Structure 1
Amino acid sequence: MNRFVSICMLPLFALAAVAAHASEYLPGIEWPEPPVVTPGEKNSDPPSDALVLFDGTSKSAFDNADNWKVEDGVLIAGQGALVTREKFGDCQLHIEWSAAVPVKGNGQGRSNSGVYFMSQAEGVGYEVQILDSYQNPTYFDGQAGAIYKQQPPMVNAMRPPGEWNAYDVIWTAPRFNADGSLNSPAYMTVIHNGVLLQNHTELAGKSAWDTPPAYTAHPDRLPLRLQDHGNPVRFRNIWIRDYKKLEGKQVAEPRFR
């Protein structure tokens, strides 16, 4: 076929491609209907399927809460970590927090706390850091929004002390094989005040201050823990929801119609 004929026939091939893709593709998967969830009036309000951990009144969702105070609808960190009574695996967490005023300390000594996913003991779990990082230099993998000692946030989205910050965290729990070896690692997505800080970041293991991160096998569901670091960090509007990807059932071969 000469060059002139090839060029002349290009529109025919193009038309054939368009015709082929004009047919509807049917993947042959029968999906369950996604359940209806009513969002809150504001984006920060809990949706209809969320478990509210703190609504401004009761600490009943937590153990070890006697030394944490509730004042004017705000939960103030006290001695000892708060631990949820419920256990969670894959989940979505919303939590709002505020650095203390007047400002005291610097670096890691300024409004230090943390959210530990799948915590089995004090200071053990997978931590996203809470810290007053507003004009407060510290090591980058220890500032607000860091996966502690593993991954700094992409940006610093901290509001000034006394103003409210919001974390929205998507947590994907690690999976372990029957022999205790790691099957798949944990992942964390963190949005701070509407700004993406961690995008499905892979974790190297549990967070620790004095040892490298590492995985050890643990149950599929464990409590959430709010850290006490000796600073009066304030919290409000804490809610959490389990999530599970829909699983479809292949009922026919993929085809076009």
Structure 2
Amino acid sequence: MKHLFFSVLSILGACSANAQLKPEKMTPESSELWDPEPRLVTPGKITSATSGTTAPSDALVLFDGTNLNQWVSSADAKSPATFTVANGAMTVAPRKGGIQTREEFGDFQLHVEWRSPSEVKGNGQGRGNSGIFLQGIYEVQVLDSHQNRTYANGQAGSIYKQTPPLVNPVKAPGEWQSYDILYTAPRFNKDGMIVVPAYVTVILNGVVVQNHTQIQGTTPYVGRPLNTPHGKGPISLQDHGDLVSFRNIWIREL
């Protein structure tokens, strides 16, 4: 009798489990999500070939062509930025040092337009060289890579000395180029060990040149990448001695 009792319980339990697993009847509405509704953002507009693209409504404008109020010297954050401003663009003042944003950022979407000098001087790394440093640490290379052979992980669109661009869509010298950069910062644990690396997607002139690329660490000219723990950091623009210009710089924190 005892065995019969437990057998009945087992059968009832199985029936109950089967009843729980029976799916509800699905309708198109079952998979519709209405809340929360994505907030409204007004996208930027292409104004003209000479003015470029305006920032979306929720972006922080880092440079609008008029002043360097959002920037300071990379060598001394208490000193003003050294680049020159004229005709809606800012240009490297050679050998006076790089500049960086006053504010610091973690994960972000960054838009930068840049131009190498129309008068071609030098070759390889000595031609239209600059760089955009994410969090002031990880360099996305800026270089006149139009018909200018150099090492692949040092040309425009590369994660400097790490990952070459997938292709080379660089325009001719003197023409405006555009970077759209999606970046997620690295995460470190309490012991300073990296647990999630940084990743970056780079779109150069509308063409993907880095596709969710893992950043291996710092991007030094000499030596291997290092992963030193850090928090938020600035956007830095490099002075490499060439008259590289920048305009229409904005950022959206993610």
- Smaller-chain TM-score bracket: 0.7 to 0.9
Pairing partner for 1:164 from 161, 176, 199: 176
Paired with 2:35 and 2:162, the residues of 1 have a C-alpha distance of 37
Is 1:68 aligned with 2:95? no
Question: In the alignment, residue 187 of structure 1 is paired with which amino acid?
Answer: Y
Pairing partner for 2:38 from 34, 41, 60: 34
1:252 is matched with none
Residues 66 and 86 of structure 1: CA distance in aligned 2, closer, same or farther (over 3 Å)? closer
Preserved CA contact (<8 Å) 1:44 1:94: no
Is 1:229 aligned with 2:240? yes
Query: Which of structures 1 and 2 has the bigger CA Rg?
Result: 2
Paired with 1:232 and 1:115, the residues of 2 have a C-alpha distance of 15
Say which SS state the counterpart of residue 241 (structure 1) adopts: strand
TM-score, scaled to structure 2 = 0.81
The number of residues matched between the two structures is 219
- In structure 2, list runs of 5 or more residues that go unmatched: 1-23, 47-51, 74-79
1:145 is matched with 157
Pairing partner for 2:97 from 71, 80, 83: 80
- 5 Å-filtered alignment, 1:71-220, equals 71-78=86-93, 79-119=96-136, 125-219=137-231
2:55 is matched with 46
Say which SS state the counterpart of residue 53 (structure 2) adopts: coil
Question: In the alignment, residue 60 of structure 2 is paired with which amino acid?
Answer: L
- In structure 1, list runs of 5 or more residues that go unmatched: 1-19, 120-124, 244-257
1:254 is matched with none
Say which SS state the counterpart of residue 60 (structure 1) adopts: coil
Pairing partner for 1:23 from 23, 27, 37: 27
TM-score, scaled to structure 1 = 0.80
Please state how far the C-alpha of 1:99 moved relative to its aligned partner: 0.7
Paired with 1:49 and 1:230, the residues of 2 have a C-alpha distance of 34
Which deviations, in whole Å up to 9, do the C-alpha atoms of 1:17-42 show, x marking residues without a partner? Answer: xxx99634847989533211111223
Paired with 1:91 and 1:191, the residues of 2 have a C-alpha distance of 14
With a CA cutoff of 8 Å and minimum separation of 6, indicate the structure with the bigger relative contact order.
Answer: 1
What is the aligned-residue RMSD (CA, Å)? 2.1
